Structure 1
């Protein structure tokens, strides 16, 4: 399968223009770098200053060495900030190419849910619902009910 033949996710009516930009950016990135078994997820996120940062999933031969796209994007966003400025993310959107030849907005894995909510508990995270296959925005902290907030 070629990533250039993959059907994009239609922009949900409830999605803001800014988050639609994240969707387009993530899909464009994954189209460019997708490689089965190596680079299967792309993330685009927006920081409080309006900047967009991206990341790509990097699979390692030892599962533990793999790095999720969300973590790569967060590290890139943090690296772009001045020394003492906190990382404030407003929106996160990740896509994966499904075997049916279409993009899908996916929820972060458990580790990435922890990471995002540690840094930006109020960030909007786009996920696709299981029941009706509809992309919806959720608050990062709501992805982890009963999470103890971390104090840095």
Structure 2
């Protein structure tokens, strides 16, 4: 999809995180399928590499897997800590939005990398946060 509407770079987003957003959008161009693969997560690791994950929806709701969970598994397999993440949703009409991880994924990501930066959209603004800040009442677990 080359005629996609522009997704503006949020104010204050550095080049590294803009690269994550661009990586997610590029992968969405390849894998997007309405109702099946509508979200891509891109995570930057402490070794500066990027891993991605694609939302995989199944006919049974419990079989769906979030992009952030897939990306987290890829990060763990690579053996480096996550330092930043961006998730992008493409709606059926073609508009794209930076989104925060769902509650389950926020729980998972904050278990492993509570201090990693994540971009979330609040109202009309996309702002940085941390995985831990997504769940303010969460108890921190010991290192895995």
Matching of residues 85-100 of structure 1 within 5 Å: 87-100=80-93
Distance 2:135 2:102 in 1: 11
Alignment partner, residue 84 of structure 1: none
Q: TM-score, normalised by structure 2?
A: 0.94
Alignment partner, residue 19 of structure 2: 21
CA distances 1:71-121 after superposition (whole Å, capped 9, x unpaired): 11111121122xxxxx41110100011345321000110000001100000
- The structure 1 segments of at least 4 consecutive aligned residues displaced by more than 3 Å after TM superposition are none
Matching of residues 38-49 of structure 1 within 5 Å: 38-49=36-47
Distance 1:95 1:144 in 2: 20
How many residues align structurally? 143
Is 1:64 aligned to residue 55 of structure 2?
no
Match of 1:136 among 113, 127, 137: 127
Cα deviation, residue 55, structure 1: 0.6
Cα deviation, residue 8, structure 1: 3.0
Alignment partner, residue 114 of structure 1: 107
Q: TM-score, normalised by structure 1?
A: 0.89
Distance 1:139 1:55 in 2: 19
Structure 1 residues 143, 97: closer, same or farther in 2, change over 3 A?
same
Unaligned ranges ≥5, structure 2: none
Residues 8 and 27 in structure 1, CA contact (< 8 A), matched pair in contact too: no
Match of 2:49 among 38, 48, 51: 51
Distance 2:63 2:92 in 1: 24
Alignment partner, residue 140 of structure 2: 149
